[in-house]
Amino acid sequence: MDLLLHDLVNIESLTGNEGRVAAHLADVLRARGFTVELLPIAPESPRANVYAYLGDKRPARCLLTTHIDTVPPFIPFSGPDAEGKVYGRGTCDAKGAAVAMISAAERLVAAEQVKAGDLALLFVVGEEVDGAGMKAASELGLRWENIVFGEPTESRLALGHKGILLLRLQAKGHACHSGYPHLGHSANHTMVIMLSDILKLEFPTDPLLGPSSVNLGTISGGEAPNILSPSATATVSIRVSCEFDAVKRATLGLVAQHPEVSYEIVAEYPPPNIQSAVPGFDTINVGFGTDIPFLKYHDGPGVRKYLYGPGSIFLAHTSNEHVALADLETCAKGYMQLVLHCMSTSPTP
Active site amino acids = 127
Stretch that binds Zn ion, among 92-100, 160-168, 261-269, 334-342 (CB under 5 A): 92-100
Of residues 67 and 185, the one with the C-beta less far from Zn ion: 67
Does 291 engage in binding with Zn ion (CB under 5 A)? no
C-beta of 213: minimal distance to Zn ion in Å?
20
For residues 136 and 4, what is the distance between their CA atoms, to the nearest angstrom? 26
How many residues line the site for Zn ion (CB under 5 A)?
3
Q: How far is the CB of 97 from Zn ion (least distance, A)?
A: 8
Q: Helix, strand, or coil here: 245?
A: helix
In the complex, the smallest distance separating the C-beta of residue 123 from Zn ion, rounded to whole angstroms, is: 12
- Give the type of residue at 41: I
Least distance to Zn ion, CB of residue 129, Å: 11
Q: Which stretch binds Zn ion (CB under 5 A): 11-19, 90-98, 163-171, 333-341?
A: 90-98
Give the β-pairing of 119-124 and 48-53.
antiparallel
* Cβ-based nearer residue to Zn ion, 93 or 118: 93
Three-state SS at 321 = coil
Contact range with Zn ion by CB under 5 A, out of 73-81, 84-92, 144-152, 261-269: 144-152
Instruction: Quote the least distance from Cβ 317 to Zn ion, whole Å.
Output: 9
Q: Which stretch binds Zn ion (CB under 5 A): 4-12, 49-57, 88-96, 112-120?
A: 88-96
The nearest distance, CB 218 to Zn ion, in angstroms, is 23
In the complex, minimum distance from the CB of residue 224 to Zn ion, in angstroms, rounded to a whole number:
43
One character per residue 35-74, x = contact with Zn ion (rule: CB under 5 A): ----------------------------------------
Cis peptide before 301 (omega within 30 of 0): no
Query: Which letter does DSSP use for residue 330 in this model?
Result: H
Question: CB under 8 Å to 150, separation ≥6 — which residues?
Answer: 64, 65, 66, 94, 97, 98, 100, 101, 308, 309, 331, 335
Distance CA 246, CA 242 (A): 9
Q: Which is nearer to Zn ion, 232 or 292 (CB)?
A: 292
Q: Measured from the CB atom, is 94 or 331 closer to Zn ion?
A: 94
Nearer to Zn ion, 91 or 251 (CB): 91
Question: According to the binding rule CB under 5 A, does residue 313 interact with Zn ion?
Answer: no
Alpha helices by DSSP H, listed for the chain, are 2-10, 19-31, 95-110, 132-138, 187-200, 244-256, 325-344
Evaluated on CA atoms 81, 83, 84, 86, the torsion sign reads negative
With respect to Zn ion, which residue has the nearer C-beta, 281 or 288? 288
The pattern of x and - marking residues 146 through 165 that bind Zn ion according to CB under 5 A reads -----x--------------
Is residue 93 a contact point for Zn ion (CB under 5 A)? yes
* From 94, 120, 195, 295, residue interacting with Zn ion (rule: CB under 5 A): 94
With CB under 5 A as the contact rule, which of the stretches 35-43, 85-93, 132-140, 141-149 interacts with Zn ion?
85-93
Give the integer Cα–Cα distance in Å for 125 and 121. 14
Q: Toward Zn ion, which CB reaches closer, 242 or 316? A: 316
Measured in degrees and rounded to the nearest 5, phi and psi for residue 120 equal -140, 160
Q: Where do the DSSP E strands lie in the chain?
A: 35-40, 48-53, 62-67, 85-87, 119-124, 146-149, 157-158, 163-172, 205-206, 210-211, 213-221, 231-240, 261-269, 283-284, 304-307, 322-324
* Crossing angle of helices 2-10 and 95-110, rounded to 10°: 140
Residues that bind Zn ion (CB under 5 A): 93-94, 151
